[in-house]
Amino acid sequence: MDRILIVDDTEMSRELLAELLEDKYEVVFARNGREALHILSIQMGKVSAVLLDLLMPEMNGYEFLMELRERKWDDRFPIVVISGDDSEVSKEICEELGVNHYICKPFKHKEAIAEISQAIEEYNRK
């Protein structure tokens, strides 16, 4: 079963995503980018995708993406940004940092699941 790391500081968001995905994926959580980096350092190779919020304390999503690039981990799994920020600027920054999938909150459940599945499938075809 594929494992997905959900990185979001809001418990309600983590729980909602877990409910949507738990039938098809194993789900692990981080409350910020720093926690996510720690989890990835332990579980590298076991994580099939990262679902990433952008606005979090300690280490936000942008900082997390930059750190992934610096560590050369940015090509080891797909990253799907799930954010309430639907601005073109945020989308462009994420794209420059290697994100190909961006879901805006609030989202439709079926569309989000399809986007996440597509991200994993695209990555696995590479």
Q: What is the pTM of this model?
A: 0.94
Cα separation values, 111 from 52, 114, 117, Å: 16, 5, 10
Residue 74 clears pLDDT 90, i.e. is over it = no
Cβ proximity of 77 and 123 under 8 Å: yes
> Is domain 3-125 classified as CATH 3.40.50.2300?
yes
Residue 89: exposure state from Cβ atoms within 10 A (0-12, 13-18, ≥19): exposed
The residue among 89 and 125 whose pLDDT is bigger is: 89
Mean pLDDT of the 63-84 span:
95
Residue showing tokens 């606005």: 55
**Percent of the chain clearing pLDDT 90 (strictly above):** 90
**Percent of the chain clearing pLDDT 70 (strictly above):** 100
What is the pLDDT of the chain when averaged over all its residues?
A: 94
Mean pLDDT of the 26-34 span:
97
Residue 48 clears pLDDT 90, i.e. is over it = yes
Q: Is residue 126 very low, low, confident or very high in pLDDT (cuts 50, 70, 90)?
A: confident
